Amino acid sequence: MSQTISGSQNTSTGMNAAAYAAGIRDVIVLELKQRLRSRGWYIMLGIWFLLTALVTWLTWASWNASQAYRTQGPDFGYVAGPTGPGSMIFEVVLAFVLLFALLVAPALSANAINGDRSGGTLAILQVTLLTPGQILWGKFFAAWLAALAFLVTSTPFLIFGVVQGGLTPGHVIVSLLMLTVEVGIVCAVGVGISALTARPLFSIVTTYLAVAALVFGTVISFGLGTGLTQGTVMANQPNYPNSSPLVPEGPSAPPAYTCSGPLQEQRVPRTERVAWLLAMNPYVVVADAIPYPVRTGGDVFSGTGTLEGISQLARHAVAGPEGSYTCANGEPQDPYLSQTTPMWPLGLGLQLIVAGLLIWLGWRSLLTPARKLARGTRIA
């Protein structure tokens, strides 16, 4: 008899889960149908496609021009780098797509709930069998899918960068996966704020401010924090044999140097103490998660892209002066740092906590009957 009760409970749980998922699917379908009817949706996709094409062409032309200068002979002291433009094109386009995805995602998600409330259609959903969770998750996934359409539109240009070479499968897969996650987090923030506020304009502005805080506020906080974390490091003097420290010896590689002389105390910012402020930055999360190939010798910084440069800046911040300052502790420092302590798990975890908290607060605001509503809020 106990087996029969246990089996019936499992069946009931499975049916409830299937019904819950079906309700979310219905909201997603309804939202996407409304978006696909809009002519402006297709205009935005067309503009996005043209802008991404322009950025791709400019990046490719810039790389070719730089290589033409480098191969003009010994007058410049450069030779062509061993890698093609693929890594640079892919990362520049990916950084551009991430930038505009962060601009588009709030517009697609920040009025998902209060827009329907203002139009009088949210109450219609609330009087159906749909639960607040189904409505909220359906709105979120619909906004996420709509934002990912812009990523799909950029796919031909990302493929072009892959075809040019210099990339590994892990590089491409992790880049696209992290970009997808970051877009989803911004959509979750927008939907949560939309459920908490009564006015669509206010929620859109608030979501843009939240995105600006992640992208620019983290960098500003880190910059200000370095001024408050001054410290010292023991270092001596570098010696650059037969070259100037500002002129590369080989293909995009900094000159080799040795350290000599007595160690002296140097005043430097202790960046490792405030490096965590950069963790929540979407660019740092994406760049730090990508498994870049280790560059040594002549190919250091040759063919690197925007995100790899951001990754190196973050790694130097985490390493602090002991790992990045010239001749720190009397040892030459490698200008290209390998990943020892990744920052992206911390940053992604903090982002998920913020997005999850906003989604939970939004779910509470959709519970009916409502105990308190803002003045002027439309009921039906």
Which phi and psi (to 5°) does residue 267 adopt? -85, 125
The reported pLDDT for the residue numbered 327 is: 73
Q: Considering the domain boundaries, does residue 258 fall inside one?
A: no
Q: Considering the domain boundaries, does residue 21 fall inside one?
A: yes
Q: Considering the domain boundaries, does residue 191 fall inside one?
A: yes
DSSP code for 295: P
The reported pLDDT for the residue numbered 7 is: 46
- Category of 301 on φ-ψ map: left (φ > 0), alpha (ψ -120 to 50) or beta: left
| Boundaries of domain holding 169 | 17-224+360-365
Residue of 317 and 264 predicted with greater confidence: 317
Rounded to whole angstroms, the Cα distance separating 243 from 230 reads 32
Give the mean pLDDT of 32-37: 79
Neighbour tally for 100: CB within 10 Å: 17
The reported pLDDT for the residue numbered 11 is: 45
Q: Considering the domain boundaries, does residue 197 fall inside one?
A: yes
Q: Considering the domain boundaries, does residue 334 fall inside one?
A: no
For 182-237, the pLDDT digits (tens) are 999 999 999 999 888 888 888 889 999 999 999 999 999 988 888 888 777 777 77
Our CA angle for 109, 150, 111, nearest 5°, is 10
Residue of 258 and 30 predicted with greater confidence: 30
pTM of the full predicted structure? 0.79
Rounded to whole angstroms, the Cα distance separating 375 from 373 reads 6
Res 64 pLDDT > 80: no
Res 351 pLDDT > 80: yes
Q: Considering the domain boundaries, does residue 187 fall inside one?
A: yes
The reported pLDDT for the residue numbered 76 is: 41
Which distant-in-sequence residues (6+ apart) come within 8 Å of 152 by Cβ?
A: none
Which of 36-45, 60-69, 170-179, 345-354 has the highest average model confidence (pLDDT)?
A: 345-354
Neighbour tally for 64: CB within 10 Å: 10
Res 300 pLDDT > 70: no
Q: Considering the domain boundaries, does residue 70 fall inside one?
A: yes
Kindly report the length of the chain.
380
User: Are the beta carbons of 95 and 283 closer than 8 angstroms?
Assistant: yes
Confidence of residue 251 (pLDDT cuts 50, 70, 90): very low
Beta bridge partners of 260: 237
Q: Considering the domain boundaries, does residue 327 fall inside one?
A: no
Cα torsion 194, 100, 351, 170: sign: positive
DSSP code for 328: B
Confidence of residue 376 (pLDDT cuts 50, 70, 90): low
Res 330 pLDDT > 80: no
For 135-148, the pLDDT digits (tens) are 889 999 998 998 88
Number of domains in the chain: 1
Res 38 pLDDT > 60: yes
